[in-house]
Amino acid sequence: MEKNKRLLSKKLKNMSGLRGKVIIITGASGGIGEAAARAFDREGARLVLVSRREEKLKGIASELKEALVIPSDLSDEAQAKAMIEKTIAHYGHLDILINNAASIIVVPAGKVSTTDFLKAFMTNLCGPAQATILAIQQMEDQGEGHIINIGSPGFMMGIPFYSPYVCSKAAFSAWTRTIQAEWADSCVKISEYFPGYILTDSNPESRIGEISQDFLMEDKQNFIAKHFTKPQSPEQVAKQLIRLANKPRPLMCSSFQVKLGTFISNFPSFRLIIASQMARTARSKMKLNQHL
């Protein structure tokens, strides 16, 4: 009986751990961000929804209990900082910042431009970094806080045709791990989350014509490549982000496949088997599209 009481008490504590917390979610107008917003709303959090798509954010916010909409382009460092300032002005403090927004550009590595790289780095690194610096200052003043950076294990694999994205995410991961070291003894927790391939309702920005989300995937791929491109839903990721927010840790992977992929990426022969198969699949689809 006593054991059951302890388990019930622990369960109730975990259920209410996010109630009233002020949480910023960037990239909240779709995919992981939207699913996370709905999941944290069910936990009783007070949300700040950030994206360039204001009307979409307003539509999502209208279905939640408490959500502030801040339309922002995070490639603009001034807007990234203003996002934090507006949150503090509205709620008085900030508990969790989830850096989820990302620029995803599809282009052959031999044709990538400096403009493509700059766009990806400004959105995926520079803007979030400036927002994080300001958020951490606020969190240290209040005595606690949590930063959750949505990274990508793709930079370790070398995802073909996604060089602006994976290069900027590699830098973002380096930034995350640097601040984890520098703030290890502070009251602010820094977490990195690695999703795998996530099935969403939006396609990446393409420089090679219209493509679908399964651009790198093919049923005829070998078992290894197919295993590592198995999609997950944003709702699955949102549940994991709830757990990460309740129990911070330095790194969380979305699945066993992602964990295994990060390990295999350290072995060039295995890494190339997977990534080169993706490249062959992409080229075959590009040729098919050219004939349509």
Q: Do the beta carbons of residue 128 and residue 176 sit within 8 Å?
A: no
3-state helix, strand, coil in the chain (%, to 5): 55, 15, 30
- Catalytic, 197? Answer no
Closest CA to 176 of 193, 161, 157, 158: 193
Cβ-contact 28, 100 below 8 angstroms:
yes
Q: Find the catalytic residue in 91, 165, 193, 197.
A: 165
Beta-sheet strand order (sheet of 22-26):
67-71, 46-51, 22-26, 96-99, 145-150, 188-194, 251-253
H helices then E strands: how many in the chain? 12, 9
What would the two tokens of residue 236 be? 């699955």
Query: Which residues are designated catalytic?
Result: 165
